[in-house]
Amino acid sequence: MPGKIWECKSITAVLAHDKIPVQKHLSNLVFIRRARDLQLLCKAEAMLANAGLALLRRGGAVTREKLHDLIAASPVILWFGVGAAGSLSRVVELLGAEANPFLIGCQLANVAFLLVAIALLALRIPPVKKQQGAGPVLAGVIGCLVPFVVVLLPQRALPPGILTALSALGLLGAALSICVLFWLGRSFSILPQARKLVTKGPYRFVRHPLYLAEFLIVASRASELAQPWPLVAFAFAVGCQLPRMRYEERILAEAFPDYRDYARRTARLIPGVY
């Protein structure tokens, strides 16, 4: 019966069930040793059964936690799906117009990033600790929307050479973003949450390589905007992401004691500068 602790039979019942012949010529010492062995065996079986029940309960708890996490991530998954579809449609238009290859590559990289992010959001492990309060949630949501907002602002006509350079910068940022996602793996989060401490790959050099990549993309896109939007858009992006970084660092330090040492020896965004 689920949840019921298994009990061992009495020694007498076990002996009777197993029909152990107790002959008169057996010494009391042999009989007692046999009985103790059976008692230990029963205890071991009971411990294994209880451990199995505990694992089943734990598995059920993990499943529920994973389901809740997936439901919480579903709006972001939907949003990223819409963004990927829009970027893919843009790629088709650019291919038909024989546009700049760097611009096409930038859009394709954006599609790849969003699809990888969707997969990781669906498969990620449950958080071990979450940042409480409205501030972290707002920081995560607004920070997630920043790149999409920049795209909606009015653009200006640029010389082909400058447009190529900006597209190359955006492609670099998108490629770096995909690389960071692969290192983050199933610990990828939108809100400030602690899932797993990652200190290898691009995280060896800076604590927030994904935001650094995003700033490259935003700088590329913002530079294509009509005045005075370039500076406003970039300042807005940085202003939204800095509090988000601090929230993430705080929750990681609370969840993982090794994070403080990692933070002391690793720059936040630019090695040797900040």
In this predicted structure, what is the pLDDT of residue 197?
A: 93
Give the whole-angstrom CA distance, residue 24 versus residue 7.
31
Helix (H, G, I), strand (E, B) or coil at 44: helix
As to burial, measured by CB atoms within 10 angstroms (0-12 exposed, 13-18 middle, 19+ buried), residue 73 is: buried
Show pLDDT as tens, one digit a residue, over the chain (274 residues): 444 444 444 444 444 444 444 444 444 444 445 555 556 556 655 665 565 555 445 545 557 777 888 888 888 899 889 888 888 888 888 888 777 788 888 889 889 999 999 999 999 888 888 878 888 888 888 888 877 777 667 777 788 888 888 888 989 999 999 999 999 999 999 888 999 999 999 999 999 999 999 899 888 888 888 777 778 878 888 888 899 999 999 999 999 999 999 999 999 999 888 8
What are the extents of the domains in the chain? 50-265
In this predicted structure, what is the pLDDT of residue 240?
A: 83
**pTM (predicted TM-score):** 0.73
In this predicted structure, what is the pLDDT of residue 237?
A: 81
Domain 50-265 has CATH 1.20.120.1630: yes
Give the whole-angstrom CA distance, residue 15 versus residue 133.
62
In this predicted structure, what is the pLDDT of residue 98?
A: 73
